[in-house]
Chain A
Amino acid sequence: QVQLVQSGPEVKEPGASVKVSCKASGYTFTNYLMHWVRQAPGQGPEWMGIINPSGGGTKYAQNFQGRLTMTRDTSTSTVYMELNSLRSDDTAMYYCARKDCSGVICYEVYWGQGTLVTVSS
Chain B
Amino acid sequence: DIQMTQSPSSLSATVGDRVTITCRASQSIGTYLNWYQQKPGRAPKVLIYASSSLQSGVPSRFSGSGSGTQFTLTISSLQPEDFATYYCQQSYDLRTFGQGTKVEI
Contacts and interface: CB of A to CB of B under 8 A. Distances in A.
Interface of A: 35, 37, 43-47, 50, 59, 61-62, 95, 97, 102-103, 105-109, 111-114
Interface class of chain A by DSSP: strand
Contacts of A105: 31-32, 34, 49-50, 53, 91
Contacts of B94: 47, 50, 59, 61
A44 B46 contact: no
A43 B55 CA distance: 24
A47 B50 contact: no
Instruction: Indicate the member of B95, B97, B99 with the most A CB atoms within 10 Å.
Output: B95
B96 interface: yes
Contact of A111 (B44, B98, B100): B44
A113 B89 CA distance: 19
9 contacts: A45-B89, A47-B97, A102-B49, A102-B50, A105-B32, A105-B34, A107-B91, A108-B44, A114-B43
Contacts of A109: 46, 55
Contacts of A111: 43-44
Contacts of B87: 44-45
Given A35-B95, A59-B94, A109-B55, 8 more contacts: A43-B99, A45-B97, A50-B94, A95-B43, A102-B49, A105-B31, A105-B34, A105-B91
A47 B96 contact: yes
